[in-house]
A and B are shown apart, each in its own frame.
Chain A
Amino acid sequence: DADVTQTPRNRITKTGKRIMLECSQTKGHDRMYWYRQDPGLGLRLIYYSFDVKDINKGEISDGYSVSRQAQAKFSLSLESAIPNQTALYFCATSDPGHPPEKLFFGSGTQLSVL
């Protein structure tokens, strides 16, 4: 089984719909992240959480919200999806550390908003 599991793997939805992307991990890591990948733009950080009670906005948080339900679960919601949110979404986890520990990525969720 994968250490970082994202569901669903693919999703097609319509403009204005609410959608949730889920991420669960068995790594036991405190830190979890949501990134989106767009061709030519690389990965951009949406939200991150350093522990269950900690939520932080990333570079592009507008139009998104998150919930850290437990150490192992971190969900990303699009309250009212729009076409420019069509992208590949990645969840990642890491341990705290200095220097920083490596990120472990899920396989991604391809979201299409029509």
Chain B
Amino acid sequence: AQSVTQLGSHVSVSEGALVLLRCNYSSSVPPYLFWYVQYPNQGLQLLLKYTSAATLVKGINGFEAEFKKSETSFHLTKPSAHMSDAAEYFCAVSGHSGNTPLVFGKGTRLSVIA
């Protein structure tokens, strides 16, 4: 069974600083991996997804993530944090068949300090 672990339930960065949100996956087969973002009082929306086409995946709002098989990681980064990036971020994994629902991590709340 697939699972993801997000390291750090809360991350705080200064505006303009690097954002790094960590996600490690556990899967017996090559997984599909996703990052979703939840802004206050909203549902989740897709930031980016890894589908094995390229290990460095670029998403919306300047975010990107790199799939590292050797480290079983899919960390999310953004070079320069903006106040509007404050939200909760979820890593998720799906099995390779495409017929298993996403399994989400516990989430990381990102705070951006002015």
Contacts and interface: CB of A to CB of B under 8 A. Distances in A.
Interface of A: 4, 33, 35, 40-45, 48, 50, 58, 90, 92, 96-100, 102-103, 105-108
Interface of B: 6, 9, 32, 34, 36, 41-46, 49, 51-52, 90, 94, 97-99, 101-107
A41 B97 contact: no
B43 A105 contact: yes
B51 A4 contact: no
Contacts, number: 59
Contact of A40 (B32, B51, B106): B106
Given A45-B103, A96-B98, A40 B9 contact: yes
A32 to B, nearest CB: 10
B101 A33 contact: yes
Contacts of A50: 99
A107 B43 contact: yes
Given A100-B94, A103-B44, A42 B49 contact: no
B36 to A, nearest CB: 8
B44 A100 contact: no
Nearest to B105: A42
B98 A58 contact: no
B6 to A, nearest CB: 8
B113 to A, nearest CB: 22
A45 B97 CA distance: 18
A19 B22 CA distance: 38
Contact of B98 (A97, A105, A107, A108): A97
Given A33-B101, A99-B94, A107-B42, 10 more contacts: A35-B104, A40-B9, A43-B104, A98-B97, A99-B32, A99-B51, A100-B94, A100-B102, A102-B46, A108-B42
A4 B49 CA distance: 21
Contact of A4 (B9, B43, B98, B107): B43
